[in-house]
Structure 1
Amino acid sequence: MNPVMKEIFSWIKVFVIVGLVVILLRMFVMGNYEVHGESMQPSFEDGERVIIDKLSFHFRDPDRFETVVFELDDGRELIKRVIGLPGDRIEFVDDELYVNGEAVEEPYLETDEDGINTSTGTMNTEQIPDGAADVPEGHYFTLGDHRGNSLDSRNLGFIPRDQVVGGAALRYWPIGEFTWISDP
């Protein structure tokens, strides 16, 4: 083989190997997600981009209040906060979240100048008709941080474990908002 063909072949091998590594990283280690809409305000704004940690979710389940991305049956991906773990009872009483009968502080919700929660929404939906929900095994109950404007478990029902893509790990866009994501 002449030297020019050898050089071309060696570059093709490099590009194929790099391409395979990138594909494997995106499939099993990390992913990219763009936030759509207002459902996670003030934690995430419309158009922000985050890196999703897929790798650790092969070995562990999400924690309560962790922000995760999950895929719906129709292929859409949503970013929401895990509120209920398998076996939990979730309910709202006078616009306050209770998990297993205990009131839960939610510092990630938007409040006005008087500290009043402005991110309210109802729990009484078609999926949760009595305002309370018992999370079945292998599923999670998720809510958006902007409760009045969120498509979440109140409408979708419980999210199966195998639909969780990964956890939000790093906000990288807009560049001025570059931060590691640490959920409460």
Structure 2
Amino acid sequence: MTTSRRRAKHDPKESEREILEAAEQFLSEHHFRDLNIDEVMRRTGLKRPAFYVHFRDKNDLTLRLVQNISKELFDIADRWLAGTNHQEDLRRALVDSVNVYVEHGRLLRAFVEAASGDERVDRVYRGLIQDFITAAAQHIKAEQLAGKIKKDVEVEETAKALIWLEERYLSETFGHASQVQPEIVIQVLQNIWISTLYGTN
């Protein structure tokens, strides 16, 4: 049994998982600026050199943490884009997105903070936002051509404004200890999106 536990402890995939979990736990309690490798590794019981087997620095660690969450958000967006009941599909996407931020808001805010001080992280951050803007613009254009969205909506800039507004609002709301009730956030975003695109609540 002792040998089995020792092997599991030093398995690279298991070590990586432990470091990622420890880092997200740390970021749920502290600001990104306070993140340090020694504290993260202390939470795992692994030695500091094990960190550099998997990550270059704390910014690289943050990028890796955000990868899975970004995929989850893209999956939510894809379900909205593929939907046929435009307002209901949009509301469902907002509910699911808010739930992601409720669970991972502090980490996603750390990602934004990391982007402000690291060009590589900033490129990834802005690239992710642009992917959402592009997808939203394509959907808005298609809905507009189908007569479901107002003709006077300027597609590209409206998509940009809505995506940036939503990301900043969710990051500010759920990236701190004090939080607004998720149901209120969902209603606020729903009103903004639907009134902007469809002209009704």
Same fold (TM over 0.5): no
| TM-score bracket for this pair, using the shorter chain length | under 0.3
How does the TM-score come out when normalised to structure 1? 0.25
How does the TM-score come out when normalised to structure 2? 0.23
Higher share of residues assigned strand: 1
Higher share of residues assigned helix: 2
Structure with bigger RCO (C-alpha 8 Å, 6+ apart): 1
